[in-house]
Structure 1
Amino acid sequence: MQQETITFDKLPQAVTYLTEQVAELKQMVSALQPSTQDKHVLVGIEEACRIVKKAKPTVYALVRKGLLPAYKKGKQLYFYEDELLVWIENGCKKTSEQNYEEMQKAMQSGVRHKPKNRINL
């Protein structure tokens, strides 16, 4: 079917063939894509400490300051694994070049020219 010329009489067969191929491609793509729902797993304090690579007291302090996303039910703290990974990614330190560019932008935006005093007589 791939190399044949499609005539008006063979059009329904060609459409059926293409539909089957698209369905097969969709299945292949969905099998290759990692499931994002797998990462939205509720974990306890021990697992959260392992994910962020911090000690328990440090994790408790970050939660108390509101820096680490956490949920509290009763006396237990719960975390979502994907939220912890996003928190880690957002904590990326900037390079000295990025800091220099930001400093330049801040300095340039702060520069204001005084208006010229013109007296029209």
Structure 2
Amino acid sequence: MQNEKSISFDKLPEAVGYLTEQVIELKKMVSELKPPSSEKRVLIEIEDACRIIHKAKTTVYTLVRKGMLPAYKKGKKLYFYEDELLAWVENGRKKTSEQNYDEVLANMQSGMRRKPKPRTNF
């Protein structure tokens, strides 16, 4: 079937069956490529959170109080999800000088201008 260049009306059911088999094989191959999704998130306490983000306990408490760090409170204890902390660290990544240059250049090219200062006549 795969070597034939044209499909006639008589061979259409056979061609559809062949394509269906190929799609099933492709789905299997793609599902094998995906990393297994870890649906079970790891819940950690403040000591582990301090170790992951390399901050002191007081700094972590301050960041949570300001709403900057994702946390969950049950009773008097704070809990964190490890994947959320890692995402928080990644979101705070500093830009490289090349990225900053591209951003400045884009702003200049977009025509952003400052408002003129108001004149005061005395």
Provide the TM-score with structure 1 as the length reference.
0.68
Q: How much does 1:25 deviate? A: 1.0
Any gaps of 5 or more consecutive residues in structure 1? 115-121
Q: How much does 1:51 deviate? A: 2.9
- 1:55-83 CA-partner distances (Å, limit 9, x unpaired): 43432332122211011111222222332
Q: Which runs of 4+ in 1 moved over 6 A?
A: none
1:71 equivalent in alignment to 2:72: yes
Any gaps of 5 or more consecutive residues in structure 2? none
Are residues 23 and 87 of structure 1, via their aligned partners in 2, closer, same or farther at CA, if it must alter by over 3 Å?
Answer: same
1:2 equivalent in alignment to 2:11: no
Q: How much does 1:39 deviate? A: 6.8
Letter paired with 1:62: L
1:38-117 equivalent positions in 2, closer than 5 A? 38=38, 41-45=41-45, 46-96=47-97, 98=100, 101=104, 109-112=113-116
Between the aligned partners of 1:112 and 1:8, the Cα distance in structure 2 is 73
- 1:80-110 CA-partner distances (Å, limit 9, x unpaired): 23322221111011344517828x75xx521
Provide the TM-score with structure 2 as the length reference.
0.68
Tell whether the 8 Å contact from 2:70 to 2:84 is kept in structure 1 after alignment. Answer: yes
Output the aligned Cα RMSD.
3.0
Identity %: 61
